[in-house]
Chains A and B, each alone.
Chain A
Amino acid sequence: MAKALYIDYQKCTGCRLCELVCAVKHDGISNPTRSRIKVMKWEAEGLYIPMSCQQCQDAPCLNVCPVKAISRDEELGRVVVDYDVCIGCRSCVAVCPFGAMNFNVIDKKVIKCDLCDGDPQCVRFCDVNALEFVSPDEISIGKKRDAAGRLSKAGREAGVLLAEL
């Protein structure tokens, strides 16, 4: 199964390096509006949430596109835009529930995460591993392990409390 971009926002430090390298990788230009990933911030609470394309199985952007410019690339597990077909109507931008389909006003075209053809630069540069490129089934296993860890810790603490009673 193709790998997926997994975002663990808790780990994100909010540095926006992912935005920078994404724009430089794709366009050779530093400009966050060109980035396919975007970190949304609530600075007053110290909360930073990177947002990017989920490469949906049943993708609303793909379904809505009137000229069928969007398709699924099963090999790389991504949703891609064919710019030869795209008419720039921005229906996909409007329908994406995550805001992950962007419209680049400078080049006047829609842009979205293409997983850097299998070597996502945001993942490569994010040293805290807030971004990972993993098999989708690993994601839930990892989370299960974390949750189980918390439960067992809670269980042990409860056991100690009971023993003290």
Chain B
Amino acid sequence: MPLKRKIAYIDLTTGDIEVKPIPIEVRKKFLGGRGLDAYLLYNHTKKGCDPIGPDNTLMVSGGILTATCASATARTHVMAKSPLTGLLGSANMGGFFAPEMAWAGFHHLVIKGKAKHPVYIYIHNGEIEIRDAEGIWGLPVTDAQWAIRDDLGDQEVKSMVCGPAGENLVAYANVMTGIKNSGGRSGMGCVMGSKNLKAVAARGTMDIKIAHPVEALEYNKRFIDQIISAKVNQTQGTLGTPFIWGATNSWGGIRCRNFQYNQCEYADDIEPERIDEICEETMGPYHMTGCFGCQVHCRAQYKITEGPYAGRYDEGPEYTSQGAFGGETDTPRANTVLVGNHLVDQYGMDNLETGSLIAWAMELYEKGILTKKDTDGLDLSFGNDEAVIEMIDRICYRKGFVGDTLAKGGIQASKVFGKDSFQYLIQVKGMSNLHSDERATPALALNIATGSRGSDHLRSRPAIDLYHLPQDVLRRIYSTPIPYDGPLSSEHTEYIGKPWQVFWQENCYMAVDCLGICKYHTTFLGATLPNFEDWPKVLYYNTGLDMTPEEIWMVARRCNMIERLFNLREGLTRNDLEKGDMLNHRYFDEPTRRGAPEVVGRVIEKDKFIKMIDEFYEHKGLDKDGNPKPETLKELDIENEPSHLV
């Protein structure tokens, strides 16, 4: 049974390992994956702990549906206090790791302490071993995984590793698995590195009994048909996420030259079709790949065609790499994007954060806050492709003043660079914003301002807000499973109704992350995809757990609130520019300069934005300062946290 998967507490300082079952009450309250990880984080870390000290606790998990007969239950979740933000750190990745860990008997790991020398954890059919990683330390992401297979003499082993960036404590180092599945954003690879933990490897052949296999199989087929019949997923399946770039850029939603423009000109070379051509030329007509059990197959395969890295194989590039190494730095050249993407994959570093910080440094260079003296002679001008590639290397290996400083993350770096460098830093809670420009989309601006792991497009983004969906469609989506009769607007430039959409999406994505499935299989980029109403059956057929859509909604709200509690404990205050639910002033002060008529000339109107936050807090059950009301905690049954149930 999926519900028999266990939780293991691993202390790297002492080598102690304790294995426990996950009580059913805990499942009903938090399901699994990110939700249960948030509970574990809140319970197993002390307030104010050093993110790169032994007291930080690293959670690794699969969702409650991982490796069951549901669609794309591929996701691995990783959580700890973030070295980048000092708040909640959380990363979610596809691939094949979490299912393997589930077949090896585990759903959750709680890793504490710090090993004396580099080690890796090996999980195998109910057993856990801490093994020497001396010979693997220093290896890039894929070599490290292959070395572990050789070390164990088993080519079926799956591992999640940190790359050189994690070892070098780059604040936004990723956890990686496979060629490019990336647990990105908040520096979970850095936490691994700080613990001398190079990898967690898994290999399992244990049965996961499906509660109602015939129904699970049939329902999965129906589910998959629904998922792949969505136009957006068909496009994902041929072009991958780069497809988003085309429309978004021509419309005026891509940050360029850090934040100076909202459209990248002369970008033909990185249009989705062009990238697809390169993939086809180098990998043949069938060049898409996917995660465990997924029929969307959104990742392209490619080889680099020119320069010193020619012939290297990788997957992607994602929409984020187009923005990070093409748009923001104004270097819209395919090879720069492909090489940049490859380097961060191999170093294990967040593409989005890396590109954003390089673009920020470029603006500082343009403004004279950084000079050639600071860059050791490197011309850090916008549009300089070599500088982008060089900076990726300098950040990972902490070379030179600017490379070493940027590796600390934006806020820390702004303290070193001084002057008004902070004013130019496009971040929320210390995490760089995606390269999309939210000035014409208040709903998306609210989403990045309030995301629990910092500026983030995967925690509450109502992406379908851009589609001008008719009222009845919006109403159908956003008033289940909880009735909502407040306003909703089909207009993406509007402010009304958006707080509810963001609140609804926050709960939708949390539920998905607890189940352990991919966001492309829910109401994220497509309006016809499954959500709350469809999940109870999947859950019941696979695990036997009987829950209503409303109950799943409550789990999601509860888990989001635990994340909030953690952030509040670590210092989140509403209007704090470094740790609050607030946007950089440029969103309010600098109008967009390019794009479609409804986009150009836009700013976020601050008074309306503040009102949106007020309303969003109300939906969540927070007071005006963003703290939970006592009755909310009671309603969510988390009045006495930490409650140490597991």
Measured CB to CB, the residues of A under 8 A from B are 10-17, 20-21, 24-25, 27-34, 43-46, 48, 105-106, 121, 124-125, 127-128
Chain B proximity of A127: nearest CB distance (Å):
4
Chain A proximity of B472: nearest CB distance (Å):
30
Residue interface mask B269-293, A partner, CB < 8 A = 1: 0000000000000011111111111
Distance, CA A11 to CA B237, complexed state (A):
13
Q: Is the CB of B209 within 8 A of A121?
A: no
B220 partner residues in chain A, CB cutoff 8 A? 21, 125
Cβ contacts A to B, 12 pairs, < 8 Å: A10-B286, A13-B288, A21-B220, A24-B69, A30-B208, A31-B205, A43-B142, A46-B287, A105-B205, A106-B205, A127-B228, A128-B288
Given the contacts A15-B290, A16-B293, A25 and B210 also touching, CB distance less than 8 Å = no
Specify which of B206, B210, B289 is in contact with A13 (CB 8 Å cutoff): B289
Residue interface mask B339-383, A partner, CB < 8 A = 1: 000000000000000000000000000000000000000000000
A34 partner residues in chain B, CB cutoff 8 A? 207
Q: Which of B294-302, B397-405, B475-483 contacts A (4 or more CB under 8 A)?
A: B294-302
Residue in B224, B286, B315 with the greatest tally of chain A CB atoms within 10 Å: B286
Q: Does B552 contact A (CB under 8 A)?
A: no
Given the contacts A30-B69, A43-B179, A46-B315, A24 and B293 also touching, CB distance less than 8 Å = no
Specify which of B207, B284, B313, B315 is in contact with A29 (CB 8 Å cutoff): B207
Distance, CA A13 to CA B292, complexed state (A):
10
Specify which of B178, B210, B213, B295 is in contact with A127 (CB 8 Å cutoff): B295
**CB-CB nearest in chain A for B300:** A46
Measured CB to CB, the residues of B under 8 A from A are 67-69, 96, 103, 142, 146, 178-179, 205-210, 213-214, 216-217, 220-221, 224, 228, 283-295, 297, 301, 313, 315
Chain B proximity of A151: nearest CB distance (Å):
16
Q: Is the CB of B315 within 8 A of A31?
A: no
A27 partner residues in chain B, CB cutoff 8 A? 207
Distance, CA A30 to CA B301, complexed state (A):
28
Specify which of A17, A21, A28 is in contact with B294 (CB 8 Å cutoff): A17
Chain A proximity of B126: nearest CB distance (Å):
13
Q: Is the CB of A21 within 8 A of B69?
A: yes
Specify which of B96, B206, B213, B284 is in contact with A16 (CB 8 Å cutoff): B96
Q: Is the CB of A29 within 8 A of B210?
A: yes
Q: Is the CB of A30 within 8 A of B67?
A: yes
B217 partner residues in chain A, CB cutoff 8 A? 21, 24-25, 121
Residue in A16, A21, A24, A128 with the greatest tally of chain B CB atoms within 10 Å: A24
Q: Is the CB of B206 within 8 A of A15?
A: no
Distance, CA A154 to CA B242, complexed state (A):
31
Additional pairs, 19, CB under 8 Å, beyond known A15-B289, A30-B210 = A10-B286, A12-B286, A15-B290, A15-B295, A17-B293, A21-B220, A24-B217, A25-B217, A31-B206, A31-B207, A32-B205, A34-B207, A43-B179, A44-B142, A44-B146, A46-B315, A48-B289, A121-B217, A127-B228
Q: Is the CB of B210 within 8 A of A24?
A: yes
Q: Is the CB of B293 within 8 A of A20?
A: yes
Chain B proximity of A136: nearest CB distance (Å):
23
Distance, CA A36 to CA B206, complexed state (A):
16
Distance, CA A20 to CA B220, complexed state (A):
11
Q: Is the CB of B313 within 8 A of A45?
A: yes
Chain B proximity of A143: nearest CB distance (Å):
15
B293 partner residues in chain A, CB cutoff 8 A? 15-17, 20
Q: Is the CB of A15 within 8 A of B209?
A: no
Distance, CA A158 to CA B68, complexed state (A):
52
B285 partner residues in chain A, CB cutoff 8 A? 10
Chain B proximity of A97: nearest CB distance (Å):
20
B291 partner residues in chain A, CB cutoff 8 A? 15
**CB-CB nearest in chain B for A21:** B217
A20 partner residues in chain B, CB cutoff 8 A? 67, 69, 292-293
Q: Is the CB of A32 within 8 A of B208?
A: no
Chain B proximity of A50: nearest CB distance (Å):
13
Given the contacts A13-B288, A15-B292, A17-B294, A28 and B210 also touching, CB distance less than 8 Å = yes
Residue in A11, A25, A28, A29 with the greatest tally of chain B CB atoms within 10 Å: A28
Q: Is the CB of B286 within 8 A of A17?
A: no
